[in-house]
Chains A and B, each alone.
Chain A
Amino acid sequence: MEYIWAFVIGGIWCVIGQILMDGTKLTAPRILVIFVVTGVVLQALDLYQPLVDLAGNGATVPLPGFGYNLAKGAMEGAKKGFLEAVTGPVNVTAAGVAAAITFGYIVSLFFSPKSPKR
């Protein structure tokens, strides 16, 4: 059952993204920003946690899940103190962001762009 929910919720986020891409003039970077901020706002209102409980990675792998993690870190930190509230968001997402930066840098230095085959 968990797998079905992961598939459905993950798929639905992507469909929303696809509709934004096809139906509006929003470019991919803007859509990414919208999704992450949406995740932050939803979690700030305590609305995203239920979705994560239901679908697991189906809710955390799409970009709103990144926003959810950021907000969750902040909210958990807020319980401990001001400094933790500020460091919380970066703290919980540090693994992913650090991996993305470091490995992205290595890949970019190693590979060359290909002329498109599309």
Chain B
Amino acid sequence: MANRKIGAQTVRFENRPYIIGRGNIGGKKEGEGPIADSFDQILDDDMFEEKSWEKAECKMLEAAMEKAMKRAQLEKENIDIMLCGDLVNQIMTSSFAARDLHIPFLGLYGACSTMTESLAIGSMLVDGGFARSILAGASSHFCTAERQFRMPVEHGNQRPTSAQWTATAAGAVVVSEWPHGITKGMSVVRVCEATIGKVMDAGIRDANQMGAAMAPAAVDTLLNHLQDTKRDIDYYDLVVTGDLGYIGKEIMSDLLADAGLNRKKIFSHYDDCGTMLYSKEQDVHGGGSGCGCSASVFAGKLLKDMEQGKYRRILLMSTGALLSTISPFQGESIPGIAHAVALEVE
């Protein structure tokens, strides 16, 4: 059997699974941002006509998944496995969405890195012949995350300048062994490689410094990916991290330059989903964050741009801060993680 592992942390997919469907959904604030038109649906009210925010997030994830399946022209019976995760305790959103959708389900938790975690594992399953089509997705909701990890929403506290805004959004894609429903001449995105990241901890303790806490993990994963694949950063039209935000993006660029990468190339080939989702006027301080940030930007803007030929190769690196609700109170620092998935248009 051919070994698909290359280098230290990377797998190369032999059959290059196809991304044949995508769906995303955003909250009100996301709908007022610069990439509002890349959303399939935008909510007028973040409650989504539900009784609790958790229910609303669940409904959002389902909506994104259903849209992805519709685009792929598949029924849920055709989906072998659904892989997803979120930020609510014990990944409640994903499990409850899976309860309603009734698809075999693998729940994942990688904090905000869940989108690439699910995409990487899903692609492995498809590439290895263990599944024909899978659903990969992630979601987050400002109100469910905020009340769990930080302060109550109505509490009159001021957000520090480095605080990031948890996106109220969900995104999902269908990955399949066969370009189902894609006719000749249409461009289709394929998954080429995936690099699984190591947990890195630089000792940041401040839960309002997420970008800084996650940047070292993103740097480590990217450098390993480039080494494993023997590529330079400009092999990709765009290297995009999940939710480092404005501060994390600058730290990442600086650390990459320190590691010997060309500053100009970094500047022109690297961006961050957290800085794309909102405009600076929206008062989000450090930029966007949350599972839904990279999931919705990827399943919306990035894949759309690829289909339209704006980008040929993208390296998506969702980044996660693996803190728990109790770890900061016990004085633990915040570990970060990042997984990379290389995508190419065909």
CA of A66 to CA of B337 in the docked complex: distance in angstroms? 45
Main secondary structure of the interface of B (DSSP, over half): loop
A27:B157 contact, CB within 8 angstroms: yes
Question: Is A114 interfacial (CB-CB < 8 Å)?
Answer: yes
Known: A115-B28, A115-B143. A25 touches B206 (CB 8 A): yes
Kindly identify, within residues 146 to 186 of chain B, every residue whose CB is under 8 Å from any CB belonging to chain A: 151-159, 168
CA of A12 to CA of B151 in the docked complex: distance in angstroms? 26
Most chain B C-beta atoms within 10 Å of own C-beta, residue among A27, A113, A116: A116
Question: Is B142 interfacial (CB-CB < 8 Å)?
Answer: yes
Most chain B C-beta atoms within 10 Å of own C-beta, residue among A28, A115, A116: A115
Chain B residues positioned under 8 Å from A118 (CB to CB)? 159, 283
Known: A115-B45, A115-B46, A115-B47. A28 touches B153 (CB 8 A): no
Main secondary structure of the interface of A (DSSP, over half): loop
CA of A116 to CA of B154 in the docked complex: distance in angstroms? 8
Chain B residues positioned under 8 Å from A21 (CB to CB)? 157-158
CA of A45 to CA of B152 in the docked complex: distance in angstroms? 36
B283:A116 contact, CB within 8 angstroms: no
- The contact size tier of chain B is 20 to 34
B142:A115 contact, CB within 8 angstroms: yes
Tell me the total A-B contact number using a CB cutoff of 8 A: 30
Kindly identify, within residues 76 to 98 of chain A, every residue whose CB is under 8 Å from any CB belonging to chain B: none
CA of A28 to CA of B152 in the docked complex: distance in angstroms? 11
CA of A27 to CA of B159 in the docked complex: distance in angstroms? 10
A113:B154 contact, CB within 8 angstroms: yes
CA of A115 to CA of B159 in the docked complex: distance in angstroms? 16
Chain B residues positioned under 8 Å from A113 (CB to CB)? 143, 152-154
Q: Considering the complex, give the chain A residue whose CB is closest to the CB of B208.
A: A25
CA of A21 to CA of B159 in the docked complex: distance in angstroms? 10
Chain A residues positioned under 8 Å from B156 (CB to CB)? 28
Kindly identify, within residues 99 to 118 of chain A, every residue whose CB is under 8 Å from any CB belonging to chain B: 113-116, 118
Q: Considering the complex, give the chain A residue whose CB is closest to the CB of B51.
A: A112
Q: How far is the CB of B318 from chain A (nearest CB, A)?
A: 24
Q: How far is the CB of B60 from chain A (nearest CB, A)?
A: 13
Q: Across the A-B interface, give the 4 residue pairs with the lowest CB-CB distance, nearest first.
A: A115-B46, A28-B157, A113-B153, A113-B154
- Which A residues have a C-beta under 8 Å from some C-beta of B? 21, 25, 27-28, 113-116, 118
Beyond A21-B158, A115-B153, A116-B153, 6 additional pairs, beta carbon < 8 A: A27-B151, A28-B155, A28-B157, A115-B27, A115-B28, A115-B46
- Which B residues have a C-beta under 8 Å from some C-beta of A? 27-28, 45-47, 142-143, 151-159, 168, 205-206, 283
- Some 15 contacts from A to B, beta carbons below 8 A apart, are A21-B157, A21-B158, A27-B151, A28-B155, A28-B156, A28-B157, A113-B152, A113-B154, A114-B154, A115-B27, A115-B47, A115-B142, A115-B168, A118-B159, A118-B283
